[in-house]
């Protein structure tokens, strides 16, 4: 598979099956089968003339990797300042389909409570403070589609598992411009999150502050929001950052 992708990247003009089989030393039938699988996933496209070229999915993944690397490097100084000001864990999360994936985190070093927001961890959008930012940005119609698609499974008794409860919470997110996870992912852990936008105004990530329930301080919300805006400005954003106000 990788040999075929490398061969396609080598050619300026889309090559045919025979050329690709020759380049990779694969039997034509084997190359054809692999190219078919790659095509079904969007990694390869077949032209009207029967030749092959790299697909748009590779561009999407490449941009995602680029954005994550740039975002992590840009966000870390602000994340460390927020960590120093609060003494609590600061998380950076991005949307991946119907989930949030955490791509960076500072550890508080103060808590015996296990916090699930570790780098590479995933969680459903509706149970996380960061995920709710993206759902609030989507709007009611897409929220209903999300609820139908996922069934809104819960992690704890506090999880929002009905569309009505979720919509009420998302309305608060749009009003307050911050979102909360009130022990909805893990019992004993609460989070505050605010959105990060890129130079095109797109909501690209969420910055969240995770604390054990006994140390949760809602007065930190403006600090989280201001830190998220600081990162957005560093990424080239020049708007007001309001969730639900898509450009």
pLDDT of residue 188: 93
What is the model's pLDDT at position 247? 44
The residue with tokens 């296990």 is 114
Cα gap 2→44, rounded to integer Å: 12
For the beta carbon of residue 107, count every other beta carbon within 10 angstroms: 14
pLDDT at position 63: 72
Q: Can you tell me the distance from the alpha carbon of 172 to that of 63, in angstroms, rounded to the nearest whole number?
A: 32
23: Cβ contacts below 8 Å, ≥ 6 apart: 3, 7, 10, 15
φ, ψ dihedrals at 158, nearest 5°? -85, -10
236 CB-near residues (< 8 Å, 6+ apart): 198, 199
What's the pLDDT score for residue 112?
45
Q: What is the H or E stretch that residue 106 is in?
A: strand 99-106
pLDDT in tens for each of the 247 residues of the chain?
A: 899 999 999 898 999 999 999 999 999 999 999 999 999 989 999 998 899 999 988 887 877 776 666 899 899 999 999 999 999 999 999 999 999 999 999 875 554 444 555 677 889 999 999 999 999 999 999 999 999 999 999 999 999 999 999 999 999 999 999 999 999 999 999 999 999 999 889 999 999 999 999 999 999 999 999 999 999 999 989 888 788 765 4
Residues in CB range of 233: below 8 A, 6 or more apart: none
pLDDT tens, position by position, 76-116: 999 999 999 999 999 999 999 999 999 999 875 554 444 55
pLDDT in tens, 200-220: 899 999 999 999 999 999 999
pTM of the full structure: 0.72
**In whole angstroms, what is the distance from residue 127 CA to residue 180 CA?**
9
């Amino acid at each position: 598979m990788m040999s075929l992708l490398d061969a396609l990247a080598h050619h300026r003009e889309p090559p045919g099956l025979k050329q690709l089989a020759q380049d990779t030393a694969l039997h034509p039938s084997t190359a054809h089968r692999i190219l078919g699988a790659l095509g079904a996933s969007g990694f390869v496209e077949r032209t009207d003339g029967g030749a092959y070229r790299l697909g748009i999915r590779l561009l999407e993944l490449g941009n995602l990797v680029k954005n994550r690397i740039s975002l992590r490097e840009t966000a870390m100084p602000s994340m460390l300042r927020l960590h120093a000001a609060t003494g609590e864990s600061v998380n950076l999360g991005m949307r991946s389909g119907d989930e949030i994936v955490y791509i960076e985190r500072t550890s508080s070093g103060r808590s015996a409570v296990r916090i699930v927001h570790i780098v590479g961890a995933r969680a459903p959008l509706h149970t996380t403070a960061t995920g709710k930012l993206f759902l609030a940005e989507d709007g009611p119609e897409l929220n209903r589609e999300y609820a139908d698609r996922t069934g809104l499974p819960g992690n704890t008794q506090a999880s929002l598992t009905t569309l009505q409860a979720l919509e009420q919470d998302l309305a608060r997110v749009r009003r307050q411009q911050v979102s909360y996870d009130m022990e909805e992912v893990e019992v004993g852990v609460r989070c505050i999150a605010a959105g990060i936008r890129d130079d095109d105004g797109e909501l690209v990530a969420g910055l969240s502050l995770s604390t054990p329930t006994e140390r949760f301080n809602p007065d930190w919300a403006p600090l989280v929001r201001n830190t998220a805006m600081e990162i957005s400005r560093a990424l080239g954003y020049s708007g007001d950052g309001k969730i639900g106000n898509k450009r």
